Amino acid sequence: MTETTFAAAVYARDLQARDALSDFAAELRGQGVRVAGLVQEVLRDDDGTMTGIDMVELDTGRRIAINRPTKENLENKTCSLNTNALAESTEALRRAIREKADLIVLEKFGEQEQKGQGLSDEIFAAIAEEIPLLIAVPEFALPLWQERSGELGDTLPYDVAAFQQWWNSVRQP
């Protein structure tokens, strides 16, 4: 057993295949593990242009539209995050903490969380409750994540095999 029950799944900014967290969560859910949390799904049109981002609740499958960029957002490269929708997604994490999920998977240590906003309170509440947490952290934000988490927790490469090895070390017998 490791001394901490949380880990940062570190990914490069240009990583295109970001399905590792979703795949890992689905695999564990198929084994009867009570996995909760949120993953992001990028929506694209037929030309491959991003049309939005949904947060998907792992325990219910509910989708929350957190980002729907306008043409102006895309042209000017401005933020189009719907902070009200992001706030709505916190309920999935609160529920996971309240129900003591076996594992919380979260694909969100974005700009809001880096500023101490967004899902930050729920992230650190899960850690305080010692509920295993696997969180996606962009490579450039790893130093900030480590500072905020007291340099505790594990740091993992962004792949299912690493996630499985970590899970095997923290899960309750």
Query: What are residue 84's phi and psi, to 5 degrees?
Result: -65, -40
Check residue 48 and give its pLDDT.
84
Share of the chain above pLDDT 70, in %: 95
Q: Strand (E) positions, 13-171?
A: 35-44, 50-57, 63-67, 103-106, 133-138, 154-157
The predicted-structure confidence for 41-78, as pLDDT tens digits, reads as follows: 988 889 988 888 899 999 999 999 998 887 787 777 77
Residue with tokens 């003591």: 100
What mean pLDDT comes out for the span 163-168? 96
Share of the chain above pLDDT 90, in %: 69
Confidence grade of residue 172 (pLDDT, cut at 50, 70, 90): low
Check residue 173 and give its pLDDT.
58
Of the CATH numbers 3.40.50, 2.20.100, 1.10.3430, 3.30.365, which one belongs to the domain with range 6-40+56-65+89-170?
3.40.50
Between CA 129 and CA 26 the distance in angstroms is 23
Q: Which residues contact 28 (CB under 8 A, 6 or more apart)?
A: 35, 102, 103, 167
Q: pTM, whole model, 2 decimals? A: 0.90
The predicted-structure confidence for 88-132, as pLDDT tens digits, reads as follows: 899 999 999 999 999 999 998 988 899 999 899 999 999 999 999
Confidence grade of residue 16 (pLDDT, cut at 50, 70, 90): low
Confidence grade of residue 1 (pLDDT, cut at 50, 70, 90): very low
